């Protein structure tokens, strides 16, 4: 249930007034609830049934009293609540088909005003999105009311790009008109108010962009004149818009980046947010209250510990970006942002990259988990800083990668970073080893002396984690329940349509008679805790069938009762009209099959064809994902190649596809906000609870519904295979008890594992070596070993702490009873003893491995084997990739690594889903993979005995993704690093090819291709292609950049077959390390770019303009007569595009091939 509908909020909105002619609070709740239900119903049947007039009247009444002056008898809090409730209702009324034309614009603007004034500004952006089509064409300047409403809607939606374009158009018209009148302005004429309103809006934009208090004051002055009707005839809408913008200007002056960030933060940091192509102009309430907190503001370098626990969509990611940018602008040492969610990491990178570039700071390359130190310390070619010797100032990585780095070089890692931000820290409760790894990381980083900021979703016991964070020293917890989008809870089940009964007599002797019914969906909708209504889907469009035997037992299997995923998927298809949808299921195969069911209900979607083509190129035409994506539906699970997962995530974010079906383990790992979340995991009596979604997982999935800034409401649909009861709704709102974050070491299963380990150890002490880190005991053993190793290598740490200090600092030790602490410590003592008994080189290597200690020992012996062979072969230098691959083949390294328990079933192939296993030549597959062959080619070449081509391809995709890219790349990397270490220790000059594992990871065969993939380019085919071109032509990285820049975007499309995504990637790549052009122009007032001219160069500077071509592929340089004389070179394309998009007013001159861009003297848009 949501804030706006809570009775106390409705009561607060109405205050003490007895307004007898409006619905009572209870009636209003029912009416709003009814309308919410109408919206759900609207998806199955068209049109609204409800009489909306009482709601409409109430909404405008509340908007009216909320709009009264500060001094009115309505207190501030009542007006705020009245704005919130009216905004909610007006927002819903926008869905009413009867609401059209300018009325609809006014309703939208009033809803936006309400959301802004109620501090729910992201919902105002969501309203703008709803109105996008309606405001996409600029209103004629002479249509004053339309101009006012459009300007208002764009401003309150904070759509700066569109608003800047619109203001330019209107500025040209009003300036021309003003000149025509011979007056200084249009004041007093019929256009006076419109002109002043636009000047006010333009000044507000300038304030938000550059923070000048003068601009804010001028804006107020213009708007005041309009409100007071002092500047000529004005229609009510223009004055109404001006009146609210005036009030909101006051709000903006309290919530803008400029107002909230402390003055000591350099202006460039603020500009990095406000001048971005996706600008951040204001902060949300939780962000504001944290940033301005007197004691725990993360922007204050004195704040060394902090725990922020807020719901999804509260703006945590942006907060992290602010902290990072502020820190790196003021501190010499680096920042490490850690998130277990790979996709969140990618989102963070996308957000940070342009901001850091603006600040002349660098972001480290996006490398896989296994590449701990190499990249972090500039030891090889994959380093992101291209041989400058300087490290990037900011790294974004997973806990696994940071842990790997610490295992290799703890001293260097700990001394490099002065700030660690650990996001999604509640995931310390995640089983399977990841949680414990994160917990262990926290305990070590805590000892490091760096600033440590922890961010998490909602936790039942945030206070105790906070107390742990600060060791009880100070208040370090920040919580806030604010969240902009509302949520609507829906339960879904199926029921038979009685009238559809068909009796099917047995077809052959001995078979059974059957009865078949059509199924329809029953939806229980609960807009408030007190209101619940049931809806059913139409009987004419059944969502499946139920087949019963003579004993009334359900018969499943082909042609019988439809599986639950299928009926849910069919119902989910109906909900797609509301917006993007995520369906969560239990199994990978179900994800695929449910996506197929949804796709079967849909037509080809033109928006999705580009992605489908790209996936077909990567996965092959036969891959089932390609077929579903053509219809706009994808599935997503850990078995798909990472690049494919990322493409699917990007596609749902950008609405290139409309639905994705994912496994439940994945919603934890992926930050995928959508309009509607359908939870359709399988549950049955007697099921192992470990396979059910936990309350936290459920809440996490629920949190994905409703994207802040994109929509004001999200729906959560819980699909159940049973009759619905009221209490089923409770599962969607778990309480603090259910959301308690417990260390995995303190869980019942951990205690069972501990008891088992104790029994084993009593038998043989070596047993501790065989405990694998994906279980709590193995993870714990592994961690203790690691800490012993760290203390050995970091004397500073060892001088102040014992291993017991660090181990007992684990959060688990705040949750365990004394006797259990003792037992875990006894296990730790055994590890310490064993550590002492192991020779130093081995114990170091075992610590570095990160596998179970027994597997680490196998890896070490493999490394020795390899070192022996290489030494025998002789040589003076690092081997080539080819030579090292030969050594790996000779020593049967892959086969031995695939026998370790860590290999799981990553490399298993079958003839059919339940058929017999088949042997695959691992070595041959890997060589073909590195040679750049496509997954389809690999599948056809190496799995020819699998007759079903789709299954063949799917298995190869799974095998490459999990077996090669993840597992072998990691373990082969370990073997080679250790072998090289051994060779060095033997003073042998020869080394194995150090980057072999990177080639396994990326499936390309040139270092340049890897350089492309770890930085900007996502397409393996493109990277391989460019790598080969560079190889043939002897180009180094800079040479390749020039080659690419020379071809320009059209050349990339024509010669390299670059897709739109590839083009964006290459634009990033060709920029190299050039300074951010916008930052330069802001700092110095001028910036240059190079052009490719179609005419002769001119020695004298000539004034020109630069405009983007319609397809955006070229930034064309135009002279006075509007003829095109050339284009901006590819290398400068992105930079100049950013300058153009900033909304700054610019002058351009061309001299030779250099285009000089300066800020126009006037500085801002002129309307007179």
Partner 1 sequence: MTRAQAPVEHQTASALAHLSAAESEEFARTNQRSTVHDYLPQTFHDGAAQANKCEWSAHVAVSLTPEEAGALAWVLIDTMMQVRFGPAAGLYDTWRQHTLAGTKIPSPYKETIASFIEPVFGLPDASKSEDHLHGHVGEWLWHLLTKDNAAVRVQPDPKGDVTDAGADGFSIYENSTGALRFRLWESKKNTGSGSLSASLNEAYNQIAASGQRYVAKIVGTFSQVSNDISGEMLTFIAEVPAAWTQGDELVGAGVTLATHQELPKAPFKKMSNKLPLLNKPGQLRGLATSISCYDELTKTVRRYAWTAL
Interface residues with partner 1 (CB under 8 A) are 17, 19-22, 53, 56-57, 60-61, 63-65, 67-74, 101-103, 106, 110, 113, 142-145, 177, 180-183, 186-192, 220, 224, 227-229, 232-240, 242-244, 246-247
Q: What's the distance, Cα to Cα, between the start and end of the chain in Å?
A: 51
Non-local (6+) Cβ contacts of 246 within 8 A are 200, 220, 223, 224, 227
The least distance separating partner 1 from the CB of residue 192, rounded to whole angstroms, comes to 7
The least distance separating partner 1 from the CB of residue 53, rounded to whole angstroms, comes to 6
Structure tokens at 538: 């139409």
Indicate the SS3 state at residue 21. coil
What distance in Å separates the CA atoms of residue 909 and residue 911, rounded to the nearest whole number? 7
Q: Are 615 and 957 spatial neighbours (Cβ–Cβ below 8 Å)?
A: no
The least distance separating partner 1 from the CB of residue 177, rounded to whole angstroms, comes to 6
Q: Choose between 151 and 419: whose C-beta lies nearer to partner 1.
A: 151
Q: Choose between 56 and 607: whose C-beta lies nearer to partner 1.
A: 56
Q: Choose between 139 and 1087: whose C-beta lies nearer to partner 1.
A: 139
Dihedral sign computed on CA atoms, order 508, 509, 513, 519: negative
What distance in Å separates the CA atoms of residue 339 and residue 416, rounded to the nearest whole number? 19
Q: Choose between 98 and 931: whose C-beta lies nearer to partner 1.
A: 98
**Measuring CA to CA, how many Å separate 408 from each of 367, 392, 404?**
16, 19, 6
The least distance separating partner 1 from the CB of residue 631, rounded to whole angstroms, comes to 40
**What's the gap between Cα 958 and its chain centre?**
23
How many CA atoms lie less than 13 Å away from 364 in the CB half-sphere?
29
Q: Choose between 105 and 356: whose C-beta lies nearer to partner 1.
A: 105
Q: Choose between 221 and 1051: whose C-beta lies nearer to partner 1.
A: 221
Going by the DSSP 8-state scheme, the letter that residue 991 receives in this structure is: B
The least distance separating partner 1 from the CB of residue 207, rounded to whole angstroms, comes to 17
Q: Choose between 148 and 1009: whose C-beta lies nearer to partner 1.
A: 148
SS (H, E, C) 281-333: CECCHHHHHHHCCCCCCCCCCCCCEEEEECCCCCCHHHHHHHHHHHHHHHCCC
Residue 1048's region, left for phi above 0, alpha for psi from -120 to 50, else beta, is: left
Residue that the structure tokens 């460019």 belong to: 1026
- The b/e string for 623-650 (b: 16+ C-beta within 10 A; e otherwise) is bbbbbbbbbbbbbbbbbbbbbbbbbbbb
Q: Choose between 59 and 497: whose C-beta lies nearer to partner 1.
A: 59
The least distance separating partner 1 from the CB of residue 17, rounded to whole angstroms, comes to 6
Q: Are 224 and 245 spatial neighbours (Cβ–Cβ below 8 Å)?
A: no
The least distance separating partner 1 from the CB of residue 231, rounded to whole angstroms, comes to 9
The least distance separating partner 1 from the CB of residue 181, rounded to whole angstroms, comes to 4
**Measuring CA to CA, how many Å separate 1151 from each of 83, 960, 1148?**
55, 53, 10
The least distance separating partner 1 from the CB of residue 240, rounded to whole angstroms, comes to 4
The least distance separating partner 1 from the CB of residue 257, rounded to whole angstroms, comes to 24
Q: For residue 139, which of 130, 129, 131, 148 has the smallest C-alpha distance?
A: 148
Q: Are 394 and 338 spatial neighbours (Cβ–Cβ below 8 Å)?
A: no
The least distance separating partner 1 from the CB of residue 81, rounded to whole angstroms, comes to 15
What distance in Å separates the CA atoms of residue 606 and residue 936, rounded to the nearest whole number? 25
Q: Choose between 220 and 710: whose C-beta lies nearer to partner 1.
A: 220
Q: Are strands 514-528 and 502-504 parallel, antiparallel or unpaired?
A: antiparallel
Q: Are 81 and 9 spatial neighbours (Cβ–Cβ below 8 Å)?
A: yes
Q: Choose between 242 and 260: whose C-beta lies nearer to partner 1.
A: 242
Strands annotated E in 370-424: 394-397, 417-422
**Measuring CA to CA, how many Å separate 281 from each of 121, 155, 340?**
11, 11, 28
Q: Choose between 244 and 631: whose C-beta lies nearer to partner 1.
A: 244
Non-local (6+) Cβ contacts of 1063 within 8 A are 1049, 1052, 1053, 1113
Between helices 160-181 and 192-210, what is the axis angle to 10°?
Answer: 140
Residue that the structure tokens 């043939």 belong to: 1032
The least distance separating partner 1 from the CB of residue 64, rounded to whole angstroms, comes to 3
Q: Are 169 and 154 spatial neighbours (Cβ–Cβ below 8 Å)?
A: no
The least distance separating partner 1 from the CB of residue 112, rounded to whole angstroms, comes to 13
Residue 179: burial class (beta carbons within 10 Å; 0-12, 13-18, 19+): exposed
Q: Are 547 and 496 spatial neighbours (Cβ–Cβ below 8 Å)?
A: no
The least distance separating partner 1 from the CB of residue 170, rounded to whole angstroms, comes to 13
The least distance separating partner 1 from the CB of residue 13, rounded to whole angstroms, comes to 13
Q: Choose between 7 and 183: whose C-beta lies nearer to partner 1.
A: 183
Q: Choose between 195 and 978: whose C-beta lies nearer to partner 1.
A: 195
Dihedral sign computed on CA atoms, order 380, 383, 385, 386: positive
The least distance separating partner 1 from the CB of residue 227, rounded to whole angstroms, comes to 6
The least distance separating partner 1 from the CB of residue 171, rounded to whole angstroms, comes to 15
Q: For residue 267, which of 335, 330, 334 has the smallest C-alpha distance?
A: 330
Structure tokens at 139: 């209103």
The least distance separating partner 1 from the CB of residue 75, rounded to whole angstroms, comes to 12
Q: Choose between 145 and 716: whose C-beta lies nearer to partner 1.
A: 145
Q: Choose between 152 and 673: whose C-beta lies nearer to partner 1.
A: 152
SS (H, E, C) 643-690: HHHHHHHHHHHCCCCCEEEEEHHHHHHCCCCECEEEECCCCCCCCCHH
Q: Are 37 and 527 spatial neighbours (Cβ–Cβ below 8 Å)?
A: yes
């Amino acid at each position: 249930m949501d804030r706006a509908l809570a009775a106390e909020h409705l009561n607060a909105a109405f205050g003490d007034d007895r307004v007898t002619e409006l619905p009572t609070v209870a009636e209003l709740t029912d009416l709003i609830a009814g309308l919410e239900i109408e919206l759900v119903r609207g998806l199955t049947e068209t049109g609204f049934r409800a009489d909306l007039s009482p709601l409409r009247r109430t909404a405008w009444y509340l908007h009216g009293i909320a709009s009264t002056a500060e001094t009115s008898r309505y207190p501030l809090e009542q007006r705020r609540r009245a704005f919130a409730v009216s905004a909610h209702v007006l927002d819903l009324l926008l869905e009413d088909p009867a609401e059209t034309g300018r009325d609809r614009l006014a309703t939208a603007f009033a809803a936006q005003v309400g959301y802004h004034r109620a501090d729910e500004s992201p919902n105002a952006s969501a309203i703008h999105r709803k109105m996008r089509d309606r405001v996409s064409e600029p209103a004629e300047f002479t249509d004053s009311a339309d101009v006012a409403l459009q300007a208002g809607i764009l401003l309150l939606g904070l759509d700066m790009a569109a608003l800047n374009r619109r203001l330019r158009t209107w500025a040209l018209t009003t300036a021309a008109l003003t000149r025509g009148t011979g007056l200084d302005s249009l004041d007093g004429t019929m256009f006076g108010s419109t002109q002043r309103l636009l000047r006010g809006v333009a000044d507000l934009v300038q304030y938000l962009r550059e923070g000048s208090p003068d601009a804010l004051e001028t804006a107020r002055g213009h708007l005041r004149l309009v409100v007071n009707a002092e500047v000529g005839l004005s229609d009510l809408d223009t004055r109404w818009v001006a009146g609210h913008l005036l009030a909101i200007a006051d709000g903006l002056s309290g919530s803008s980046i400029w107002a909230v960030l402390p003055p000591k933060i350099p202006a460039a940091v603020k500009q990095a947010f406000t001048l971005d192509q996706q600008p951040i102009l204001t902060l949300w309430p939780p962000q504001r209250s944290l940033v301005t907190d007197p004691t725990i503001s993360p922007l204050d370098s004195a704040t060394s510990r902090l725990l922020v626990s807020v719901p999804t969509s509260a703006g945590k990611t942006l907060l992290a970006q602010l902290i990072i940018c502020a820190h790196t602008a003021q501190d010499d040492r680096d920042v490490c942002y850690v998130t277990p969610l790979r996709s969140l990491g990618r989102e963070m990178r996308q957000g940070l990259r342009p901001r850091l570039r603006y600040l002349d700071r660098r972001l480290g390359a996006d490398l896989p988990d296994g590449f701990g130190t190499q990249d972090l310390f500039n030891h090889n070619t994959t380093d992101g800083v291209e041989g400058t010797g300087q490290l990037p100032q900011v790294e974004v990585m997973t806990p696994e990668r940071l842990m790997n780095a610490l295992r290799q070089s703890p001293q260097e890692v700990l001394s490099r970073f002065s700030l660690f931000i650990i996001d999604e820290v509640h995931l310390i409760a995640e089983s399977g080893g990841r949680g414990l790894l994160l917990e262990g990381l926290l305990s070590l980083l805590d000892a490091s002396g760096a600033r440590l900021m922890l961010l998490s979703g909602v936790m039942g016991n945030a206070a105790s984690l906070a107390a742990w964070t600060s060791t009880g020293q100070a208040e370090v917890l920040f919580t806030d329940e604010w969240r902009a989008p509302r949520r609507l809870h829906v339960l879904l089940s199926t029921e038979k349509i009685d009238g559809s009964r068909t009796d099917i007599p047995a077809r052959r002797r001995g078979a059974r008679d059957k009865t078949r019914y059509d199924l329809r969906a029953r939806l229980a909708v609960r807009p408030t805790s007190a209101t619940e209504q049931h809806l059913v889907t139409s009987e004419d469009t059944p969502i499946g069938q139920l087949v019963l035997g003579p004993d009334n037992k359900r018969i499943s299997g082909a042609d019988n009762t439809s599986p639950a995923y299928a009926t849910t998927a069919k119902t989910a298809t109906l909900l797609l009209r509301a917006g993007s949808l995520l369906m969560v299921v239990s199994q990978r195969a179900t994800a695929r099959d449910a996506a197929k069911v949804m796709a079967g209900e849909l037509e080809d979607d033109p928006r999705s064809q580009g992605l489908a083509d790209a996936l077909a190129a990567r996965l092959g035409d036969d891959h089932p994902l390609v077929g579903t994506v053509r219809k706009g539906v994808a599935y997503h699970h850990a078995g798909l190649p990472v690049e494919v997962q990322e493409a699917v995530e990007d596609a749902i974010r950008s609405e290139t596809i409309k639905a994705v079906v994912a496994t439940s383990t994945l919603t934890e790992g992926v930050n995928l906000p959508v309009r509607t979340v359908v939870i359709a995991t399988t549950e049955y009596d007697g099921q192992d609870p470990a396979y059910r979604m936990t309350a936290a997982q459920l809440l996490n999935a629920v949190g994905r519904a409703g994207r802040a800034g994109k929509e004001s409401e999200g729906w959560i649909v819980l699909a159940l295979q049973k009759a619905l009861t009221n209490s089923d709704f409770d599962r969607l709102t778990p309480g603090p008890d259910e959301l308690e974050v417990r260390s995995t070491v303190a869980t019942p299963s951990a205690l069972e594992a501990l008891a088992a380990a104790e029994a084993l150890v009593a038998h043989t002490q070596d047993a501790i070596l065989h405990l694998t880190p994906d279980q709590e005991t193995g993870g714990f053993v592994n961690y203790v070993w690691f800490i012993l190793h760290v203390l050995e290598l970091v004397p500073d740490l060892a001088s102040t702490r014992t291993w017991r200090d660090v181990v007992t600092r684990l959060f688990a030790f705040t949750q365990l009873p004394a006797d259990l602490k003792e037992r875990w410590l006894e296990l730790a003592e055994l590890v310490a003893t064993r550590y002492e008994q192991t020779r130093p080189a081995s114990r170091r290597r075992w610590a570095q491995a990160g596998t179970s200690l027994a597997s680490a020992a196998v890896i070490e012996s493999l490394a020795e084997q390899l070192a022996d062979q290489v030494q025998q072969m002789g040589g003076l230098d690092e081997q080539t990739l080819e030579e090292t691959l030969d050594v790996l083949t000779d020593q049967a390294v892959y086969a031995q690594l695939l026998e370790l328990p860590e290999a799981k079933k990553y490399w298993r192939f079958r003839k059919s889903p339940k058929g017999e296993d088949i042997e695959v030549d691992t070595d041959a597959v890997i060589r073909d993979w590195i040679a750049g062959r496509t997954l389809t080619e690999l599948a056809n070449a190496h799995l020819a005995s699998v007759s079903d081509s789709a299954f063949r391809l799917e298995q190869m995709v799974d095998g490459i993704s999990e077996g090669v890219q993840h597992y072998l790349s990691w373990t082969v990397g370990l073997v080679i690093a250790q072998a090289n270490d051994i060779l060095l220790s033997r003073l042998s000059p020869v080394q194995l090819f150090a980057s072999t594992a990177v080639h396994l990871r990326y499936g390309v065969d040139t270092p340049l291709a890897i350089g492309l993939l770890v930085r900007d380019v996502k397409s393996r085919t493109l990277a391989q292609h460019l790598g080969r071109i560079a190889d043939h032509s002897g180009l180094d990285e800079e040479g390749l950049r020039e080659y690419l820049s020379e071809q320009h975007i059209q050349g990339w499309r024509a010669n390299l077959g670059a897709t739109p995504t590839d083009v964006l990637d290459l634009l990033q790549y060709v920029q190299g390390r050039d300074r951010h052009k916008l930052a330069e122009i802001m700092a110095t007032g001028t910036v240059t770019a190079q052009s490719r001219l179609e005419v002769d160069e001119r020695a004298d500077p000539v004034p020109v303009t630069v405009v983007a071509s319609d397809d955006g592929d070229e930034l064309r340089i135009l002279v006075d007569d509007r003829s095109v004389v050339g284009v901006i070179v590819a290398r400068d394309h992105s930079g100049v595009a950013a300058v153009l998009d900033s909304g700054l007013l610019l002058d351009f001159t061309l001299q030779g091939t250099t285009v000089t861009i300066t800020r126009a003297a006037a500085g801002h848009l002129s309307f007179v």
